[in-house]
Amino acid sequence: MGKLFGTDGIRGKAGEYPMTVEMAVRIGRAVALTFTGTGGRSKIVVGRDTRQSGPMLESALVEGIGSAGTDTWLAGVIPTPGVAFLTPAVEANAGIVISASHNPYYDNGIKIFNGKGYKLSDEIEAEIEALIGRRGADGRSPSPGPRAGRATTNSKLIESYITFLNSCLPSDLSLKGLKVILDCANGATSRVAPGLFSNLGARVETLGTRPNGHNINDACGSEHPEGLIAKVLNTRAHLGLAFDGDGDRLIAVDENGGILTGDQILAICARDLKQKGRLRNDLVVSTVMSNMGLGVALQDMGIRHETAGVGDRYVMEKMIATGAVLGGEDSGHMIFADRHTSGDGILTALKLIEALQAADQPLSELKQVMTVYPQVLINVDVQSKPDLATVPAVAEAIKAVETKLGSQGRVLVRYSGTQPLCRVMVEGPSETETREYCIQLADIIKKKI
């Protein structure tokens, strides 16, 4: 069967292994057996984004969950962090989201949360994979549970999530007079963000709020901010906020059209929490992909900095281990652990605005809290993923660039956990030099892998 789980759940092209109806049935059953067993009343919350294949996979998951005697509470189209919140809020045994995040519409995926709303450990993922692959002596999947579970659509689930988001802001905070452009990537935040920000008093204009099953992340959202930049400049908005398809990440645009990376948002929120005395242990967690400038900025602010592996679940694991309340990734995943168990793009947007109002500065000035070192990232398509250290030409090229950069930069080459890509990232003292080194490494990887 091969390994199913990547850095963020199971993902692939819809209709092809492992994103087939048959596999979704088996995944649903395996998750139900892992978290609920076959006795007593139990339930799993299921949500999805706006992809055309979502309802198909949802039906298959429900069948698998029901075959284990477990009920399904269907939240419909809802951001991934909404399911993470709802799972413990309604005392569900687990939560499942059908989404491929920022990937194109033809991909889909399955993300799983435990009963406390956290993403799964490697050990639990291995248990689920073993159940998915297990078959009886006659070659069939394990027999159904003692009774069939029921599926119920609950429209109040998304309302509960919106109420939660509102509760994360100070009671006296108003967005009145603030002009905000929201790009919802034609994804799951389309149902939540526009109304939420308008009800808080902001003057809202939107992009990417007409999902049709095919246009999720298509030239919009956090991966494609060009349209958002133009809209911010043309309407003289105070800021722009772009989410990805499932709403767990955020990229911001300042009033001058400048893009703020996840690292810059993390630095801004870290300073705000520290000034308010709410940054527990004066500590922030990010990943090895974070820009070197983040570490420098945090040090200047008297904030300790810990790094974790790539993936917001690894950030959360490190946060729990160190007692941190703030962590995130340069890609835009931010975790406010005193509020949520998962990265949440809408919550991050609200916290960024809270920091913006506290500082009483335009975003273009506030982002100067961190200087972004020149960084170039190139994604290289690969057919296989051999250990890079076992490919002499690649290993030697990486070492040569690292030697040339010395203490003025760094190289990070890693495979994507969700796509057939090798990510080549170089940071250096100048844009020209950094890009040159990155292209060199990418070209070698194209030839050798």
Model confidence pLDDT, tens digit, residues 316-343 = 999 999 999 999 999 999 999 999 999 9
CA distance 304 to 212: 45
pLDDT band at 36 (very low <50, low <70, confident <90, very high): confident
Contact 401, 411 (CB under 8 A): yes
Q: What is the mean pLDDT of the chain?
A: 93
Identify the pLDDT of residue 442: 97
Q: Is the pLDDT of residue 263 over 90?
A: yes
Work out the average pLDDT over 28-42: 82
Predicted confidence at residue 140, as pLDDT, reads 46
How many other β-carbons are positioned within 10 Å of the β-carbon of residue 140?
Answer: 8
Looking at the DSSP assignment, which residues form a beta bridge with residue 237?
Answer: none
pLDDT at 91 over 70: yes
Distances (CA, A) of 278 to 123, 274, 366: 33, 6, 19
The pLDDT value given to residue 338: 95
Edge to edge, the sheet with strand 203-207 lists 203-207, 179-183, 239-243, 250-253, 259-260
Say if residue 41's pLDDT is above 80: no
Q: Which residue has the tokens 């992340």?
A: 217
User: Which pLDDT score is estimated for 154?
Assistant: 87
Q: How confident is the model at residue 1 (pLDDT cuts 50, 70, 90)?
A: low
User: With 60 as the cut, is the pLDDT of residue 445 above it?
Assistant: yes
Name the token pair of 269. Answer: 């929120």
Decide if pLDDT at 144 tops 70.
Answer: no
Q: Is residue 418 over pLDDT 50?
A: yes
Query: What is the pTM for the complete model shown?
Result: 0.88
Task: Give the pLDDT score at 137.
Answer: 36
Average pLDDT over residues 368-386: 93
d(CA 449, CA 436): 20
- The per-residue pLDDT for range 148-171, each reduced to its tens digit, is 899 999 889 999 999 999 999 998
Structural domains present in the chain: 5-158 (3.40.120.10), 174-247 (3.40.120.10), 260-344+362-369 (3.40.120.10), 375-448 (3.30.310.50)
By mean pLDDT, which of 38-42, 248-252, 294-298, 321-325 is the weakest?
38-42
Alpha carbons 69 and 362: distance in angstroms, whole number: 54
| Rounded average pLDDT over 62-70 | 93
pLDDT at 135: 59
What is the model's pLDDT at position 145?
52
Do β-strands 151-153 and 71-77 pair in parallel, antiparallel, or remain unpaired?
parallel
Pick the catalytic residue from 42, 101, 286, 331. 101
Q: Which of 6-10, 73-77, 139-143 shows the lowest mean pLDDT across its residues?
A: 139-143
Sign of CA dihedral 393, 399, 404, 409: positive
SS3 track for the chain: CCCCEECCEEEEECCCCCCCHHHHHHHHHHHHHHHHCCCCCCEEEEEECCCCCHHHHHHHHHHHHHHCCCEEEEEEECCHHHHHHHHHHCCCCEEEEECCCCCCCCEEEEEEEECCCCECCHHHHHHHHHHHHCCCCCCCCCCCCCCCCCEEECCHHHHHHHHHHHHCCCCCCCCCCCEEEEECCCCHHHHCHHHHHHHCCCEEEEECCCCCCCCCCCCCCCCCCHHHHHHHHHHCCCEEEEECCCCCCEEEECCCCCEECHHHHHHHHHHHHHHCCCCHHHEEEEECCCCHHHHHHHHHCCCEEEEECCCHHHHHHHHHHHCCCEEECCCCCEEECCCCCCCCHHHHHHHHHHHHHHHCCCHHHHHHHCCCCCEEEEEEECCCCCCHHHCHHHHHHHHHHHHHHHHHCEEEEEECCCCCEEEEEEECCCHHHHHHHHHHHHHHHHHHC
Average pLDDT over residues 179-190: 98
Q: Give the Cα-Cα-Cα angle 243, 249, 253 (nearest 5 degrees).
A: 55
Q: Tell me what pLDDT residue 205 has.
A: 98
Q: Given the structure tokens 């993902």, which residue do they identify?
A: 11
Per residue in 333-373, pLDDT (tens digit) is 999 999 999 999 999 999 999 999 999 999 999 999 999 99
Position 3 scores a pLDDT of 83
User: What strands, in cross-sheet order, belong to the sheet with 9-13?
Assistant: 5-6, 9-13, 107-114, 94-98, 43-48, 71-77, 151-153
Is pLDDT at 398 greater than 70 in this prediction?
yes
| pLDDT at residue 138 tops 50 | no
More confident residue, 146 or 271: 271
Distant-in-sequence, close-in-space partners of 204: CB < 8 Å, separation ≥ 6: 180, 181, 182, 194, 197, 198
- Residue 101 catalytic? yes
